[in-house]
């Protein structure tokens, strides 16, 4: 892909096949990282909702008074401001979850989660690149 003629294609991915694959910690209704399945499980109204690392753009932590906030941004169309939006989507006319923000009084935990998400993302991108290099 060094020659720049590569056409980016969307590759399908899947977090889980069955609900017994969720980490047992989801019962605490908190954010759970599952590196083994390249997935982050987020609590939404009492339900564990998996998001594959491939859907995640980035995560950031901020503070406001005694609260810390963790914002997880997902990849969605129309985000490439001023540059070519070359992210492939299976269906760009679909509805997308673009971001989710949580708050907690445990700021250290959010710094740690944001850090882990960045690492997971970096590893996933690296793995993808290695796979591509092998195919070439």
Dist CA 112 CA 132 (whole Å): 30
Residue burial 57-78, b: 16+ Cβ < 10 Å; e: rest: eebebeeeeeebebbbebebee
Choose, by CB under 8 A, the member of 5, 7, 45, 134 that binds other proteins. Answer: 45
CB 36 within 8 A of CB 44: no
125 binding other proteins? (CB under 8 A): no
Per-residue interface string for the shown chain with other proteins, residues 66-85, x marking contact by CB under 8 A:
xx-xx---xxxxx-x---xx
Asked if 19 is part of the footprint of other proteins (rule: CB under 8 A), the reply reads yes
**Residue 33 binds other proteins, judged by CB under 8 A:** no
Q: Which of residues 95-124 bind other proteins (CB under 8 A)?
A: 95-106
| Only segment of 26-34, 119-127, 128-136 that touches other proteins (CB under 8 A) | 26-34
| DSSP secondary structure letter of residue 11 | -
Distance CA 45, CA 61 (A): 22
**Contacts to other proteins by CB under 8 A:** 13-19, 21, 26-31, 39, 43-52, 54-55, 66-67, 69-70, 74-78, 80, 84-86, 89-106
């Amino acid at each position: 892909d060094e020659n720049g003629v590569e056409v980016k294609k969307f590759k399908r991915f899947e977090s889980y096949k069955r609900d017994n694959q969720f980490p047992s910690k989801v019962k605490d209704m908190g954010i759970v990282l599952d590196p083994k399945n390249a997935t982050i499980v987020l609590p939404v109204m009492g339900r564990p909702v998996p998001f594959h690392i491939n859907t995640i753009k980035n995560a950031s932590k901020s503070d406001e008074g005694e609260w810390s906030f963790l914002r997880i941004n997902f990849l969605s169309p129309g985000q490439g401001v001023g540059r070519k939006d070359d992210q492939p989507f299976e269906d760009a006319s679909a509805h997308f979850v673009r971001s989710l923000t949580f708050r907690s009084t445990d700021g250290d935990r959010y710094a740690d989660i944001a850090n882990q998400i960045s690492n997971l993302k970096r590893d996933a991108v690296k793995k993808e690149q290695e796979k591509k290099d092998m195919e070439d």
